[in-house]
Structure 1
Amino acid sequence: MKNIAKLFVVASLLSVATGCESFLDVNTNPNNPSLESLQPNFVLAQSLKVTGDLSYNTLNTYGSWVAGYWAQAGGVNGYGEERTYTYTAIYNQDFWRDTYDNLKDYDIIERDGPAAGYPYHAAIAKIMKVFDYQMLVDEYGDIPYTQALQGASVITPKYDKAEDIYKDFIVKLDEAITEIKAVPAATAKPGTEDIIFRGDMNNWVKFANTLKLRILIRQSFVPTLNDYVKSEIAKLQSSDGFITTDVLVQPGYLQTTGKQNPFWNRYRATPAADATARNYQAGTQYVIDQYKNNNDPRLAQLYVRANDGTYKGLIPGDQAPPLGGPAISRWKDYGGILKGFDAPSPIMLAAESYFLQAEAKSRGFLSGGDSGAGTDFNNGIRASFVYFYTPAPSAPADSRVLGQVDSDYQTYLAANTNNPMVNWSTASNRADKLDKIIYQKYLAMNSVTGGEAWSEYRRTTYPKFPASLESASSRADKLPVRLLYPQYEISTNPENIPSGVNQFTSKIFWDVLD
């Protein structure tokens, strides 16, 4: 793998072969790729699979630690950055490298797709480039963008302003939607290589719209962008709609080395044995209490009881007994978090789509008013039940609880008629509505899309989860606000990389609330 400024087409295809343990390889010889290996339909499946790894495994892991979902089990060494937030330039630096590698693959598809007879693939790649770039901007702020992915012609790309990149996201997504709709009807749609929507281009348009809504809502508290955000969200009112099902990457995971669901492989079991990291972390007492105190049936689908019959979590920075013992609740096997070796990798939840719409309506960005927002709010909660209750294909019969979604969802609502964080009708003002929307979004994203949960906390300051007791931050909430630029970028592009960046004070442009 190489620094993004030095990536060539060959290096991009090499990442396809080596970056994911040869899963869904598209090259027979990565050092001398054939012309066939450059065809977009051969590259798309692997590119989407890598995005699933980056979002669900890498970014979700980081987000789950810093957003208060996970804490360290006692008796385990390491995790200094997670416990204290004292980051270095090498902490999570592979996220930067691997995401840019993934972007280069999408760039090849977007560039070569139309001429090669794959216009749908090119539009999909354009959408996914926005998805990848947003992950980078939300963790680093200013990044190489307009001069990125240029290979040898630009080996030290300039850094673009994060706010400018965000505006271009909307332009690129609009272009992708237009391109999809302009493809002649007789043109073949993607087939099995589309491991997300299986060639359903209507769903790709809805995903692009939902991604637009996420991007616009993310920057909606920046005072100077208020009119821009309102105007752009208003255009979505007459769009083709938003996603109503979870956006899942499913290449056909197998119980074979290098081909399992990446989260299961890392935190539950390899094909040969229990994963080592299984005993290194668990759910925090805070997040477990949010389900327990609200009589939330999802609790039993996410965690198992400790040996005393209660649900016990960890306190960040506190000493706790090893997770391998029975004193701490661990994630439930074949439950909502640890679904199975062949479970798909989520990159956006239907629950998030509904909660974004609820916020947009409650703030007057979309029509529908308070009533429409309340419907979306409840749909978001129910969609969370659907995700957590949907089993992996290989899940044993006694763990299949999908049929309980509606009864458990209604039980949850009935048990919380006076709970302001569950019953929409108890909201008295805009702040209360936002608080409960983000709270329920937080519960829905638990250990699934932790990176988004972390970004939403920074954007809204909700919910008020406790930071690590060992935090090195001087902030009131004791939390960091970003990742640091990677060491290899500092070493190879020193003239362009922003200076003076600090993980506790250098906020992303949309992070304006305290």
Structure 2
Amino acid sequence: MLLTLLTGCDDWIDVDTDPNSIVDGPLITEDIMLIGIEAEWAVLATERFETWNGFPQWLSWHAIEGSVPPNFTIVPSYGNAVWNSYSASLKHAVELYEKAKENGNTHYQGVAGIIAAFHWFYIADVYDQAPLEEAMQGLDALQPSLASQATLYARANGLLDEAITLLSAPNQGDLVPDTDDYLLNGDMDKWIRYAYSLKARQALRLSYDPSTSKTTQADLVLSFLQNGMTSNDDNVMWKHLEELTNANPLWGYMTRAYSGGLGLTPGNFLIDLMNSYNDPRRPIMFTFSEEFPDGFVGLRAGEVVQPGKTPSHWRFTYLSMSYPAQIMMYAETEFIKAEAYAFKGQWALAEEAMKAGIRADMEFVGVDPVDIDSYLAQASLTMPTNEEDAQRLIMEQKYMANLYRTNETYFDWIRTGYPLFDFEYMLNNVGNAETFPRRFPYPLNEVERNPNITGQPNWLVKGTTWDNK
């Protein structure tokens, strides 16, 4: 018996694996890795702006009730979740990419490349300059150098181009994504359409970059979207479940005591804007107010609710346990297309694309088709024939179609200045009525330990390279 135990122990000791690597070991194959990486990615891509440091209040998605003033708490850990992806979701996506490449499983390689590309764009958009893969080498590279935003974008676009090529061809290895691909169920055509759509999103991001022009970027956008998402069936979403352990984190915020258990309270700017268009999404998303039983009322964040004037709240049937984490939606691609046409002065095509985006979002929400048609017929949705007013209209409609969806409302506002948020109206005791953080400061420990990383002055008021309107 003793001999048996010693023999077993000796065999066990011979297995030398790295406990910090999710790819080390013969049993960790691509199909085991993918779903975990997608879960990490969905959290990074969506949850942060839904719940993070006051962002939902500055976007008027949510207005906290009570005497507590809304604020951004700028501490040394502010924004670190994105930087930490170097040791989490981005690192794991790169590991999957390398493992699949080594094994010849080209479809896994392509999917992993797309996920990694999203991360490189995100890092570039919030930090401007940041390390590339050198930052993932641990003790072998404690002081990685910084790459420019242009270099980070080039890395991401290169991965997307490669992924499109790989996924357009038959898989070369033994393993192919299937049900382990929780986001798109192994549909490589959908991954290709998402890759093109992501390229379009980021091309539009550079509209005001000093190294290019709006019309150049608009042409790129329109060329990419010829192969982009085509319907709500292409939406890239993590589907949560109607159970507490797998619920959307928003559910936890809905049930907290901010509003006495009535659900999150929408901001006054948001509700006022939706009211001005008589938006048919309101009764699906929000409860009626107490003061106006047939109407919808938002709140100035931080104000105490007066007796008899309970505002509207997000409905539990809408922001439910199973509310999906949305990485990119088809509706967004139509708004991207609309803005590109506006940059080219093609007003009729811009209006057509904008209305297609509105329709797609309303269909996703579950608005009656008759109400959708009525909404789209109103004269206020006629496209202006000058660029600035056209952009404002498109961005307002895109804003209302992106509530608790993706981070694009933040990036759109930084890039364009629309919607025209009135922070003094929206926020009680607001400290800065002009802006909120336009890029993220580097983590304090990185600034202290890495001489290649210096502090970023004016990050509250000056964004990344493309923040140049």
Give the TM bin, normalised by the shorter chain. Answer: 0.7 to 0.9
Partner of 2:382: 423
Is the contact made by 2:128 and 2:149 (CA closer than 8 Å) also made in structure 1? yes
Partner of 2:253: 267
TM-aligned CA distance change 1:191 to 1:277, over 3 Å: farther
Within the alignment, does 1:315 sit opposite 2:300 as a pair?
yes
TM-aligned CA distance change 1:251 to 1:190, over 3 Å: farther
TM-aligned CA distance change 1:143 to 1:277, over 3 Å: farther
In the TM superposition, residue 144 of structure 1 has moved relative to its aligned partner by 1.6
Residue of structure 2 aligned with 1:472, choices 412, 427, 431:
431
TM-aligned CA distance change 1:249 to 1:497, over 3 Å: same
Q: Given the two structures, how large is their TM-score scaled by the length of structure 1?
A: 0.78
In the TM superposition, residue 136 of structure 1 has moved relative to its aligned partner by 2.4
Map of 1:451-462 to 2, 5 A cutoff? 451-462=407-418
**In structure 2, how many angstroms separate the alpha carbons of the residues matched to 1:487 and 1:405?**
50
In the TM superposition, residue 457 of structure 1 has moved relative to its aligned partner by 0.6
Q: Given the two structures, how large is their TM-score scaled by the length of structure 2?
A: 0.85
Partner of 1:353: 333
Map of 1:217-366 to 2, 5 A cutoff? 217-226=204-213, 229=217, 232-233=220-221, 235-236=223-224, 239-245=226-232, 247-250=235-238, 253=241, 255-257=243-245, 259-264=246-251, 266-268=252-254, 274-276=255-257, 282-308=265-291, 309=293, 310-316=295-301, 318-321=302-305, 327-335=310-318, 338=319, 340-364=320-344
In the TM superposition, residue 469 of structure 1 has moved relative to its aligned partner by 4.8
Within the alignment, does 1:67 sit opposite 2:95 as a pair?
no
Partner of 1:80: 71
Name the amino acid aligned to 2:402: M
What per-residue deviation string (whole Å, max 9, x for no partner) do you get for residues 161-220 of structure 1? 123212332222111111212334897641111111111111111101110011110011
Partner of 1:505: 461
Within the alignment, does 1:214 sit opposite 2:171 as a pair?
no
TM-aligned CA distance change 1:126 to 1:505, over 3 Å: same
Identity among equivalent pairs (%)? 24
What per-residue deviation string (whole Å, max 9, x for no partner) do you get for residues 39-96 of structure 1? 12111111111211222211333442332322221144x7531xxxx62322242343
Give the SS at the match of 2:200: helix
Per mean C-alpha deviation after superposition, the further-off stretch among 240-249 and 209-218 is 240-249
Give the SS at the match of 1:36: coil
TM-aligned CA distance change 1:231 to 1:445, over 3 Å: closer
Is the contact made by 1:87 and 1:484 (CA closer than 8 Å) also made in structure 2? no
TM-aligned CA distance change 1:278 to 1:163, over 3 Å: farther
Is the contact made by 1:12 and 1:104 (CA closer than 8 Å) also made in structure 2? no
Partner of 1:378: 355
Is the contact made by 2:86 and 2:135 (CA closer than 8 Å) also made in structure 1? no
Give the total of aligned pairs: 442
TM-aligned CA distance change 1:116 to 1:200, over 3 Å: same
Is the contact made by 2:335 and 2:398 (CA closer than 8 Å) also made in structure 1? yes
**In structure 2, how many angstroms separate the alpha carbons of the residues matched to 1:501 and 1:53?**
29
Give the SS at the match of 2:314: coil
Is the contact made by 1:123 and 1:177 (CA closer than 8 Å) also made in structure 2? yes
Give the SS at the match of 1:160: coil
Is the contact made by 1:192 and 1:198 (CA closer than 8 Å) also made in structure 2? yes
**In structure 1, how many angstroms separate the alpha carbons of the residues matched to 2:431 and 2:439?**
14
**Structure 2: 5+ residue stretches without partners:** 1-16
TM-aligned CA distance change 1:506 to 1:223, over 3 Å: closer
**In structure 2, how many angstroms separate the alpha carbons of the residues matched to 1:506 and 1:100?**
27
Map of 1:383-402 to 2, 5 A cutoff? 383-389=360-366
Residue of structure 2 aligned with 1:11, choices 20, 32, 44:
20
Partner of 1:36: 27
In the TM superposition, residue 116 of structure 1 has moved relative to its aligned partner by 2.5
**Structure 1: 5+ residue stretches without partners:** 1-7, 14-26, 28-32, 269-273, 390-403
**In structure 1, how many angstroms separate the alpha carbons of the residues matched to 2:169 and 2:191?**
14
Is the contact made by 1:472 and 1:478 (CA closer than 8 Å) also made in structure 2? no
Residue of structure 2 aligned with 1:436, choices 389, 393, 402:
393
Partner of 1:129: 116
What per-residue deviation string (whole Å, max 9, x for no partner) do you get for residues 338-365 of structure 1? 0x22232111121111111112223239
**In structure 1, how many angstroms separate the alpha carbons of the residues matched to 2:136 and 2:30?**
17
Give the SS at the match of 2:228: coil
**In structure 2, how many angstroms separate the alpha carbons of the residues matched to 1:388 and 1:9?**
45
Structure number with bigger Rg: 2
What per-residue deviation string (whole Å, max 9, x for no partner) do you get for residues 453-486 of structure 1? 011011011110112453433xx72433122222
Name the amino acid aligned to 1:375: E
Is the contact made by 2:267 and 2:298 (CA closer than 8 Å) also made in structure 1? yes
Is the contact made by 2:107 and 2:177 (CA closer than 8 Å) also made in structure 1? yes
